[in-house]
């Protein structure tokens, strides 16, 4: 998908103007930030819907071409109709090469077939599907990859396993937080519990015999 988005500058704002735009297949949007006044624009509803449903909408920078004037931005928010679920409005933030952003990056897990734990029937228990980091707008990663090669039942996959871009840091800094675990399957947990219960019963029987 192209990183350039065509838009037109709009002079009128308000609910009436917004309804008129939507009848034309457009939606209102605004560009703000970088110590410049907000710029009200109109963008294609169809194009916005396509970009939002493509995924990663709020973590990709793009260029908005507003009547020939280009703005480097990142989407920061969008509103959906609570009933019909179509896009109502989009907010864009101006960014420069040195702009620092707090952003959520999706996590991908690779080489599941190389995990002995998963081969034995364990389950990949994902605690965090995204990791929030602070990084430069020019260095936002598409995703973070965690390699599952060699992982065993009971292993914990933490943020320390992630290769962060230079200058980037997670927003949680006080611990090596967990992103996922290799959890034992319920059948294996049940077997272990039964074995423990049997062991306890044998110990109790032995103790009773000793007392007699």
Model confidence over 52-85: pLDDT tens digits? 988 889 888 999 999 999 999 999 999 998 888 8
pLDDT score of 212 more than 60: no
The domain 4-95 is placed in CATH, from the list 3.20.20.60, 2.40.240.10, 2.20.25.90, 3.30.460.20, at 2.40.240.10
189 pLDDT band (50/70/90 cuts)?
Answer: low
Burial (CB count within 10 angstroms: exposed 0-12, middle 13-18, buried 19+), residue 128: middle
Q: Indicate the Cα dihedral angle 36, 42, 46, 52, nearest 10°.
A: 20
Beta bridge partners of 55: none
d(CA 192, CA 19): 62
- Domain boundaries along the sequence of the chain: 4-95, 101-190
pLDDT score of 183 more than 70: yes
Of 104, 75, 80, nearest to 92 by C-alpha is 75
pLDDT score of 163 more than 80: yes
pLDDT (0 to 100) of residue 179: 97
Residue with tokens 């793009």: 62
50 pLDDT band (50/70/90 cuts)?
Answer: very high
Written as six digits, the tokens of 158 are 């933490």
Mean pLDDT of 111-128: 95
pLDDT score of 35 more than 90: no
CATH of domain 101-190: 2.170.120.20
């Amino acid at each position: 998908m192209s990183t350039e988005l065509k838009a037109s500058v709009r002079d009128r704002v308000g609910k009436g103007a917004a309804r008129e735009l939507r009848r034309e297949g457009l939606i209102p949007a605004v560009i703000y930030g970088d110590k410049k006044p907000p710029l009200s624009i109109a963008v294609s509803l169809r194009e916005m819907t396509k970009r939002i449903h493509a995924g990663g909408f709020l973590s990709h920078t793009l260029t908005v071409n507003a009547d020939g004037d280009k703005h480097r931005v990142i989407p920061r928010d969008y509103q959906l109709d609570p009933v019909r679920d179509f896009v109502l409005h989009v907010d864009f933030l101006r960014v420069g090469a040195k702009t620092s952003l707090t952003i959520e990056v999706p996590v991908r897990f690779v080489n599941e077939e190389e995990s002995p734990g998963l081969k034995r029937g364990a389950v990949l228990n994902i605690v965090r599907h995204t990791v929030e980091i602070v990084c430069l707008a020019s260095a936002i990663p598409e995703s973070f990859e965690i390699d599952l090669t060699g992982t065993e039942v009971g292993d914990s996959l933490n943020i320390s396993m992630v290769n962060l871009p230079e200058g980037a840091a997670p927003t949680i800094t006080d611990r090596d937080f967990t992103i996922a675990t290799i959890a034992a399957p319920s059948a294996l947990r049940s077997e272990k519990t039964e074995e423990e219960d049997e062991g306890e019963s044998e110990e109790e029987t032995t103790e009773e015999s000793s007392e007699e």
